[in-house]
Amino acid sequence: MIGTLLRRAPKVHCLVRNATGTRTMATYLVDDAKYGFLKDLGLQRVNGGVYDGRWSAGAGRKIQSIDPASGRVIAEVATGTEQDLDRCLAAGVAAYEQWRTMPAPYRGEIVRQIGDELRKYREPLGKLVALEMGKILPEGVGEVQEFVDICDYAVGLSRMFGGAIFPSERPQHTILEKWNPLGVVGVISAFNFPCAVFGWNAAIALVVGNAVVWKGAPTTSLVSVATAKIVTDVIERNNLPPIVTLCQGEADVGKRMVSDERVKLMSFTGSTAVGRTVGVEMQRRFGRCLLELGGNNALIINEDAPLQMALDAAFFGCIGTAGQRCTTTRRLIIHEQLYADFVQKLTKRYANLLQRVGHPLEQATLYGPLHNQQAVQNYLDAVKEAVALGGKVECGGKIIERPGFFVEPTIISNLPHDAPVVKRETFAPIVYVFKAKDLNEAIAWNNEVDQGLSSALFTNNVQSAFQGIGENGSDCGIVNINTSPSGAEIGGAFGGEKHTGGGRESGSDSWKQYARRSTITVNHSTELPLAQGIQFE
Ligand SMILES: NC(=O)c1ccc[n+]([C@@H]2O[C@H](COP(=O)([O-])OP(=O)(O)OC[C@H]3O[C@@H](n4cnc5c(N)ncnc54)[C@H](O)[C@@H]3O)[C@@H](O)[C@H]2O)c1
């Protein structure tokens, strides 16, 4: 329905300057009444991309945000520069001084209000996520829901994050552990989760007592602005200082944030290549970092797997978000006895999916576009490389001829399990399929790539399942049994090993990454005994 409206939408023209300064005609979806949800989110034709306690146009480049399913301009964002970031950081440091003194349950109350406000904007913000990133509407709304859920989680946490008490070897002494906030937490996020990644970080960082400075991906700048507006409105209504600031910008702003000593923890989500530079810089200046980087996730189908479930899991895992999740299934390792039948059934499911290709805002769409032209090129390059290495394209491999950045979901067989193209993360809907002789071989192949984010084993055998999750099993941060490696719930700690960066976000004890641990010995005696019984007189 909305897709029909999209195609029929009247064109609204206005004059803008492009990157070279030439005045050109542009069409803006934000001016079209059929995209009224953009105005509901407070978005205009040109939006300020900087919030340091008040909204302003950044002095950086004006970025045109594109709908990847049609190539049309949604609206513009005036992004920030390093100077704009400097103001955001200064405001964040000052806000932190006040925020850290407030009781944690009070901080939780503010995060509760943020969650409630997000609930009100779930649909329009979810639509914007779908429109600007290119994921289908249920996934766009689901992303906002993740932010709501982590707020609920953080509210509870604000009354629960506790320290330990340990026995002391000295009489009438007690050893305590107390978790204190760090200061300003920097968040740099990737285009594929433009709302939730900020949410996972901000909700937890705030209840622990930190201030947050955010830079989202340049190509999803509207989501950053709309999300930050919802959050900062709540903060302003409570007469609080800017404990959340935004400096939407490009790599120069990101680099500056990473190198600034005021940022005590740098939470970076993005590619391994950029994450490596972030990690090195944070190590150089002894800052903390939380890295959530690329994945190369495998799904193992053991000979005793529940087959229908495995097929459903592979279908969603490989194709969901058009292959643009960090947890997307990129390798299927199938027991040799099941291989031919499984690949044939999966190929059939792929063929049926082509009926469900469409605009992400259309109700019937299951499969949307890639995010931009560069992603299409990366996809084509990977297919070409795979074929040159002897790979057989079982299905897909080409661009889908329609407006926007659509490519066919693709299955490639016949490659060595350790081919260079297989060991690399191509952020596109390509899955490589392999025939394994037994579980030991399958696990060895699962583990042989550099990345270590997510994995799954399908088996009905308890011994195989426990091998998969144990010391001889998957070396990933996420190790699933009989469910897809793609996607995760907020209750557990999210993140991966090796070149995925080692960070953990969301649930379990991930909150500890946002806090500094103070070990405290309290002497409640009238003597002053030294540790280890040392006499010093
Ligand atoms: N592990 C996870 O939780 C997770 C989640 C989502 C995405 N990802 C990964 O992110 C990648 C896709 O996202 P992307 O293309 O936006 O990644 P990217 O690395 O190109 O960009 C990520 C962010 O870093 C910024 N940036 C670029 N250069 C920088 C620099 N030198 N210093 C500081 N910041 C800089 C970008 O502007 C953007 O905001 C994939 O590899 C995917 O697997 C990982």
Phi-psi region of 390 (alpha: psi -120 to 50; beta: other; left: phi over 0): left
Whether 92 shows a pLDDT value over 90: the answer reads yes
- Rg over alpha carbons for the chain, rounded to the nearest Å, is 25
CA distances from 122 to 68, 82, 195, 360 (A): 21, 32, 11, 16
Q: Look over the chain and give the mean of its residue pLDDT values, rounded to a whole number.
A: 95
Residue-level pLDDT at 26: 54
pLDDT digits (tens, 9 = 90+) for 31-55: 999 999 999 999 999 999 999 999 9
**Is residue 292 among the annotated active site residues?**
yes
Q: What is the DSSP letter of 10?
A: P
The residue ranges of DSSP E strands in 317-449, in sequence order, are: 329-335, 392-395, 410-413, 430-436
Find out whether the beta carbon of 188 lies less than 6 Å from any atom of ligand 1: yes
Joined together, the tokens standing for residue 449 give 């790539």
Average pLDDT over residues 227-250: 98
Q: Strand 297-301 relative to strand 454-458: parallel, antiparallel, unpaired?
A: parallel
Nearest alpha carbon, ligand 1 atom 3 = 292
CA of 425 to the centre of ligand 1 (A): 13
Query: Predicted ipTM?
Result: 0.99
pLDDT over threshold 70, residue 226: yes
pLDDT band at 11 (very low <50, low <70, confident <90, very high): very low
Taken in order of first residue, the domains within the chain and their CATH numbers are 36-293 (3.40.605.10), 297-490 (3.40.309.10)
Could you give the angle at which helices 196-208 and 221-237 cross, rounded to 10 degrees? 30
pLDDT tens track for 332-380: 999 999 999 999 999 999 999 999 999 999 999 999 999 999 999 999 9
Best of 213, 293, 376, 494 to mutate for ligand 1, by most ligand atoms within 8 A of CB? 293
Say if residue 532 is exposed, middle or buried (CB neighbours under 10 Å; 0-12, 13-18, 19+): exposed
Alpha-carbon separation of residue 339 from 178, 308, 332, 414, 501 (angstroms) = 53, 14, 10, 12, 32
CB of 198 within 6 A of ligand 1: the answer is no
Res 22: pLDDT: 45
Segment 104-149, tens digit of pLDDT: 999 999 999 999 999 999 999 999 999 999 999 999 999 999 999 9
Average pLDDT over residues 73-99: 98
Would the CB of 342 count as within 6 Å of ligand 1? no
SS3 455: strand
The token pair at 447 is 């583990």
Distance, CA of 265 to CA of 278 (rounded, Å): 11
Ligand 1 touching residue 454 (CB < 6 A): no
d(CA 442, CA 445) in angstroms, rounded, equals 5
Percent of the chain surpassing pLDDT 90: 94
- Ligand 1 pocket test, pick from 247, 263, 271 with the greatest ligand atom count within 8 Å of Cβ, gives 271
Q: Determine the Cα–Cα distance for residues 284 and 46; give it in Å rounded to an integer.
A: 38
Calculate how far, in angstroms, residue 271's C-alpha sits from the geometric centre of ligand 1.
4
Query: From the candidates 132, 292, 394, 505, which is the catalytic residue?
Result: 292
Q: What's the CA-to-centroid distance between 291 and ligand 1, angstroms? A: 10
Q: What is the pLDDT of residue 488?
A: 87
Predicted model pTM: 0.95
Ligand 1 atom at minimal distance to the Cα of residue 190: 16
> Region 14-18: what's the mean pLDDT?
40
Predicted pLDDT at 23: 45
Of the residues 65, 188, 213, 499, which should be mutated to test ligand 1's pocket, given the most ligand atoms within 8 Å of the CB?
188
pLDDT tops 90 at residue 393: yes
Rounded CA separation 290/495 (Å): 9
For 413-463, how does the pLDDT look when each residue is reduced to its tens digit (9 = 90+)?
Answer: 999 999 999 999 999 999 999 999 999 999 999 999 999 999 999 999 999
